[in-house]
Structure 1
Amino acid sequence: MSAPTQQSADGVNAPDDADEELTWLADRRRIETIEAISVGAMARRLPTLVVRAFRLGWRIDRFSVALLLACQVLSAVLGATGLLATTGTIAALFGPGRVGDKLAHAAPSILVIAAAAGARSLLGITIRTITIHLSPRISREAEAAVLRATVAAELTAYDTAGYNDELDAADRGADVCVDIVGEAQNLIASVASLIGAAGVLTVLHPLLLPLLVLAALPQGFASVRAARVQFLANRATIGDRRIMANLRWYIHVKRNADQIRSDTMGDFLLEKYEHVGRRLDATSRRAALQSARVSVLGAAATGLGTALVWAAMLWLVSTGRMGLPQGGAAVFALGAVGTSLHGIVGYGADLFRTGMYLDDWSTFLDTAGGHRLQRGDRVPEPPRRIAVEDLRYAYPSSERTALDGVNLHVERGEILALVGENGSGKTTLAKLLSGLYLPTAGSVRWDGHDTRDLDPHALWHQVAVVPQDYARWPLTCRDNITLGQPAADGDAAVLRAAEASGAAEVVAKLRRGLSTLLAVEWMGGEELSGGQWQRLAIARAFHREAGLLVLDEPTAALDPRAEHRIFRNLRAVAQERAVVLVTHRLTNVAVADRIVVLEDGRVLQEGTFSELVAEKGGRFRELWDLQNERSGLPAQRVSPSCENEGPVR
């Protein structure tokens, strides 16, 4: 499930394939760039990340973001006011005079402290409520953005090494978006509290603040290093986590459940899962130990720095350079500043790590993993003629040419059949005709216009495809036929398509007809057989008002009666469409106006059914004879009880 790897000079696993080597080198360069990030770089980047976080929120809910920022500013002002009032309270309580007079002088400051504390508590509740309300919405929007970018990527992206890793990294970035607003607002809150407390501390004695900042720096270095280590470990294990996700899907999905049991593959797949899990655990364990070592060193250095700060404060008080009331207020201010500094370091490191994931997300959105659709904007009409000229196509992950020097055409009202042995290029050619792929060289032209110059979405509106592996959407029967694009006459058109494909019999047997949910795993859902699903897949193509109809092995799962019905109705369906039929069943291509025989990506023969059957020594005639000739097969087994009675007839 993963690409073969070889050991590189530095001991890192590197892919064998040349394309994957390029992907690996590009990713390695990115990792080296991340490893070079310093605390200074983090400090410079944090404002950008905070702005990015609130821009995401601003697109979702402007009022909530504005209220969140206002609450943060007000909370910081109240925090500084409370600290200043604390200084007045301590000065009043430790000053000369009677106890009653001291309390009277301290009462206004105490009221200010209480009011500020109460108001900050209410603001904190408001901030948390807004964050809880806003964060999931941002995460959903980030996930939706990835989905939009995925749909906007060329189909060949899935054939390109490294694309799935980029997609998984973008998904991870979307996942962490749920945290970014909370981390950003926590960082802002810490900065705001620091500004207020630092101002008070500077007024009390200017020496204390720089000492406290120096004490917090080691923890800052450690936090950045730990965040970097965790991110790199996560990035390095993307492939393994995707393998585990795929194995989970293959093991528990109903589609494979019978084969897992009949092939006794359960233990084998579970061992694969455990093996990859152990490899993943080893990487995570190394990252955790490395982070722990860095954090312990940072905590130790920060502890020494904090001790130095307190020693300096005691020295200032004991030498008379700071009065006792100021010293008492400094205790509170030091606590507030220390908490704010640790908050900045901790939340800053969290936001920094989230920002690295967010980079993967935003990079994918900008380029769709490097495969964003970049074609023309011409809107095609239903094609009258589709022509292939000197066509060549090679898959991105393969050095072998799938199609080479192909020339052919298909016109409206015509049925063109593509036949050939496995790997001859039939399905690839069908995807090029329908604009799902673009040629490596040569051209596919719709009414003279190169598919590279056509708007892809407008082109696909003119295409109806029944692929070999058709989708079984967990939707109603109606939606499985209309695909969310109902015709003007609604269910009447659905039923006409169902009748033409033989799916009407399927619909008639469903509990709620067209409204039946076709997903047995959901309450009220029903399951269909493979042949019934194939009838629906053909019905959705017949229902679609498209100028090109592509049928790739459309009757592989159908019984003879259903198959006969499809081909009996195909000529009527083809009256207003160009039809391309891909099949191995050569008896079915008798319905075609022309047949193209492909071999190793080249056109070997072309002609009508009668012409190709009559051409002795031709490839079509060879395949026809092999498919219909049974004289060379082994004789029927003779039952022991009938040995003397001749062969069983």
Structure 2
Amino acid sequence: MTTTPKSASHVPQAEGAEAPDEELKFAIPGDRRIEAANAITSRSMARRLPQLIRRSLALGWQVDRTAVIALLAVQVLSGVLEAFGLMATTGAIKPLITSSHISGDQLRSAAPSLSVLTGAIGLRALLGIASTSLSARLAPRISREAELKLLDAATQAELCAYDNPGYNDRWDAADRGVEVSRDLLTQAQYILAASASLIASACVLTAVHPVLLPLLILAALPKGVASVRAARISYIASLATSRDRRLLGMLRWYLVDKQTADQVRSGTMAPFLLSKYRTTGARIDEATDRATWRSARISLIGGAAGGVAHAVVWAALALLVSAGQISVAALGTAFLALGRVSAGLDGIAGYGAQLFRTGMYLDDWADFIDEAGGHRIDRGPQAPAAPIVVRADNITFQYPSADRPALDDVSLEVRRGEVVALVGENGSGKTTLSKILSALYLPDHGAVTWDGTDTRDLNAHATWARVAVVPQSYANWPLSARENITLGQPTEEGDAAVLAAAHAAGADDVIDDLRSGLNTLLAKEWWGGQELSGGQWQRIALARAFHRPAGLLVLDEPTAALDPRAEHRIFTGLRRLAADRAVVMVTHRLTNVTIADRIVVLDKGRIIQHGTPDQLLAQHDGLFRELWDLQNERTGRVPAQGGPDEGASPNQPALF
């Protein structure tokens, strides 16, 4: 997501004039999907349809093989029955039209053919019901399987993917593929049914007269080509409006989410945000209307051309009858077969266009699964033990689209049993450094090693199993209190380990107050759970970190929501917890860093100071001492009228 000026002009502003606000706009570097969609042709669709049918059957095969086999058998049998029914039509008509009066003998002669025809119609109706039922059974399972594959691929992407402006858009496109995946098999099944009907009818029609089939195929081409082009226009319109649809979703979130609801009201922002929503929606409507009109125009031209072509076919049929090339009885069969062939060709063209469009969305889904949005984790196979030494050597890291590196030539070492505090002003790189040390990010340059092994060579998931992180924004999982601490990964000690971690985090008091203890669901009340305050959730978040296996412990502003008593409890027990862990602590509360063995001070992505608390406090011209003094400075008093407050102490803090 990027911002662009409302005006494309870069003409210098006149003196005193205000520059226009930048507009919110999603930009995806290297995205060429619209160009690729424009290259779609009828020929490419004809080549692609068999691949898409195979893909739909393959997805169905993964979820229910028996149902797929049954569906294919139903389609084949339905085609065979249709051919028998059409052939029986001639046998049923011929005895009945030999004279103006129908005798009993004529009816008896037609009876076998009528029986075959009636039986074929009845069985095909039953097979149609079976086909619909099988499709209804498979469709939701295919959609769920597609979504599971997508979710699995998303968890296999590097964390830095979320900082890439194109990742979320590719996710949205892939998610659209999941939405339409339930239609994939249904559309493929319709094409198979139309194909089976077409083949059966074509065989009968060719038996009536060979010239009829090629004429009818030519008659169906205009409508088929029009359907492909209309599908392409619809898909391109969907791509072109995808960024604005994402923008609508974001605006909707800001308008209604609980986190911003108070500020929308207190800032009286609703009319302003709604106007942006309407403006964005109008752009989507305009693009959609253009695409709809173009599709309708193409479909109209295709339908008109197809009508003329069908008139030619029927004229040819009339000429064949008048010339005696086909009998009157065969004419009835030809009429039925022509209708079936025409319907089959229209079905293949129409459903083929729908399947082709669905297939384009499925391509986005398949591409995401193959590449995890272009950011699939690709690291080494080694599984590390709990590290004794975590070391960063001259690392540099820059976020996509950032103006400067978040970290620039940083070197640092953290050992088991010690606490290292990262200090600095906002944007100095503290949180980024903690994520790189814990192997959530990989550096652009330099290396981070765990006991001498580069994190690029370590199995990512095995490495993270040795990491415990309490981030600034911790997750409030809608799970039980026990699962919120174990994260679904209990140890052999069971609840004893859970309660020990809760005690160390000060969360034992929280658990004691829950209605069902560790079994209590922690979720919003309308999910049937029990809600916690921000400070209570922070204790749970600390407990889940303390419950993790020994390794690297990262605490990023770990007590921001805690009261002084709870905060004191955490820091007095941190030294004991650090005995079998390497601890990295990120905080702005400098009074808390006095428990650290070493303090690292960052400024604009570089380490500018490093030492013990006493050493850095002794450096009066250093940034750490400056920040320390600012946090501990208390100047100014509330003045009385004409002089100082009566009875006020000279050191009393000012009240603002």
CA pair 20-273 structure 1, distance change in 2 beyond 3 A? closer
Paired position in structure 1 for 2:576: 572
Deviation of 1:523 (Å): 4.0
Q: Secondary structure at the match of 1:409?
A: strand
Deviation of 1:390 (Å): 0.9
CA deviation map 1:336-389 (0-9, x unaligned): 111111111111111111111111111111111110001101110000000111
Paired position in structure 2 for 1:12: none
Q: Does 1:155 align with 2:179?
A: no
One-letter amino acid of the counterpart of residue 414, structure 2: V
Deviation of 1:261 (Å): 2.3
Q: Does 1:76 align with 2:79?
A: yes
**Residue 38 of structure 1, aligned match among 38, 41, 44:** 41
CA pair 123-98 structure 1, distance change in 2 beyond 3 A? closer
Paired position in structure 1 for 2:12: none
CA distance in 1, matches of 2:117, 2:144: 41
One-letter amino acid of the counterpart of residue 60, structure 1: V
One-letter amino acid of the counterpart of residue 424, structure 2: G
Paired position in structure 2 for 1:422: 426
| Conserved? CA contact 2:422–2:430, under 8 Å | yes
| Conserved? CA contact 1:498–1:504, under 8 Å | yes
Paired position in structure 2 for 1:131: 135
Deviation of 1:155 (Å): 0.6
Q: Secondary structure at the match of 2:449?
A: strand
Aligned pair count reads 636
CA deviation map 1:518-554 (0-9, x unaligned): 2224342122111111111111101111300000001
Structure 1 portions without partners, runs of 5+: 10-15
**Residue 243 of structure 1, aligned match among 240, 247, 250:** 247
| Conserved? CA contact 2:34–2:240, under 8 Å | no
CA pair 43-466 structure 1, distance change in 2 beyond 3 A? same
CA distance in 1, matches of 2:55, 2:441: 36
Output the TM-score relative to the length of structure 2. 0.94
CA deviation map 1:36-73 (0-9, x unaligned): 22111111111111011101111111111111101110
| Conserved? CA contact 1:2–1:239, under 8 Å | no
**Residue 177 of structure 1, aligned match among 158, 171, 181:** 181
CA pair 546-280 structure 1, distance change in 2 beyond 3 A? farther
Q: Does 1:231 align with 2:235?
A: yes
Q: Does 1:116 align with 2:120?
A: yes
| Conserved? CA contact 2:430–2:602, under 8 Å | yes
Paired position in structure 2 for 1:410: 414
| Conserved? CA contact 2:415–2:582, under 8 Å | yes
One-letter amino acid of the counterpart of residue 580, structure 2: E
| Conserved? CA contact 2:638–2:645, under 8 Å | no
CA distance in 2, matches of 1:474, 1:260: 26
| Conserved? CA contact 2:37–2:235, under 8 Å | no
What aligned pairs does 1:395-474 form with structure 2 within 5 A after superposition?
395-474=399-478
CA pair 117-5 structure 1, distance change in 2 beyond 3 A? farther
CA deviation map 1:139-184 (0-9, x unaligned): 0111111111110001111111211111100001111110000111
| Conserved? CA contact 1:445–1:451, under 8 Å | yes
| Conserved? CA contact 2:96–2:102, under 8 Å | no
CA deviation map 1:571-597 (0-9, x unaligned): 111111000000011100011011111
Paired position in structure 2 for 1:539: 543
CA distance in 1, matches of 2:91, 2:641: 111
**Residue 635 of structure 1, aligned match among 629, 634, 637:** 637
Paired position in structure 2 for 1:561: 565
Q: Secondary structure at the match of 1:407?
A: strand
CA deviation map 1:227-274 (0-9, x unaligned): 001111111111111122222233333233222222222223222222
| Conserved? CA contact 1:159–1:397, under 8 Å | no
Paired position in structure 2 for 1:507: 511
Q: Secondary structure at the match of 1:401?
A: coil
CA distance in 2, matches of 1:515, 1:409: 40
CA distance in 2, matches of 1:639, 1:503: 49
Q: Does 1:254 align with 2:273?
A: no
Cα RMSD after superposing both structures: 2.1
| Conserved? CA contact 1:2–1:243, under 8 Å | no
Q: Secondary structure at the match of 1:4?
A: strand
**Residue 87 of structure 1, aligned match among 85, 90, 106:** 90
| Conserved? CA contact 2:235–2:357, under 8 Å | yes
Q: Does 1:144 align with 2:148?
A: yes
CA distance in 1, matches of 2:295, 2:38: 14
Paired position in structure 1 for 2:210: 206
Q: Secondary structure at the match of 1:153?
A: coil
CA deviation map 1:76-104 (0-9, x unaligned): 10011100001111112112585222211
CA pair 2-300 structure 1, distance change in 2 beyond 3 A? farther
| Conserved? CA contact 2:442–2:456, under 8 Å | yes
CA pair 585-280 structure 1, distance change in 2 beyond 3 A? same
Deviation of 1:328 (Å): 1.3
Q: Secondary structure at the match of 1:522?
A: helix
CA distance in 2, matches of 1:515, 1:246: 35
Paired position in structure 1 for 2:303: 299
Paired position in structure 1 for 2:4: 4
CA distance in 2, matches of 1:215, 1:516: 68
One-letter amino acid of the counterpart of residue 188, structure 1: L
Q: Does 1:67 align with 2:75?
A: no
CA distance in 1, matches of 2:476, 2:185: 38
**Residue 619 of structure 2, aligned match among 615, 619, 626:** 615
CA distance in 2, matches of 1:643, 1:635: 8
Paired position in structure 2 for 1:13: none
CA distance in 1, matches of 2:6, 2:279: 19
One-letter amino acid of the counterpart of residue 636, structure 1: V
Paired position in structure 2 for 1:375: 379
One-letter amino acid of the counterpart of residue 434, structure 1: S
CA pair 644-461 structure 1, distance change in 2 beyond 3 A? closer
One-letter amino acid of the counterpart of residue 64, structure 1: A
CA distance in 1, matches of 2:408, 2:102: 103
Deviation of 1:304 (Å): 1.1
Deviation of 1:7 (Å): 8.6
Output the TM-score relative to the length of structure 1. 0.95
Q: Secondary structure at the match of 2:31?
A: helix
| Conserved? CA contact 2:85–2:117, under 8 Å | yes
What aligned pairs does 1:515-526 form with structure 2 within 5 A after superposition?
515-526=519-530
What aligned pairs does 1:94-113 form with structure 2 within 5 A after superposition?
94-96=97-99, 98-113=102-117
CA deviation map 1:484-540 (0-9, x unaligned): 111212222111111111111111222222222222243421221111111111111
| Conserved? CA contact 1:173–1:357, under 8 Å | yes
Q: Secondary structure at the match of 1:27?
A: coil
CA pair 257-507 structure 1, distance change in 2 beyond 3 A? farther
Q: Does 1:584 align with 2:579?
A: no
One-letter amino acid of the counterpart of residue 467, structure 1: P
Q: Secondary structure at the match of 2:131?
A: helix
CA distance in 1, matches of 2:352, 2:645: 92
CA distance in 2, matches of 1:543, 1:399: 39
Paired position in structure 1 for 2:18: none
Structure 2 portions without partners, runs of 5+: 10-21
Paired position in structure 1 for 2:55: 52
One-letter amino acid of the counterpart of residue 80, structure 2: V
Q: Secondary structure at the match of 1:605?
A: strand
Deviation of 1:34 (Å): 2.1
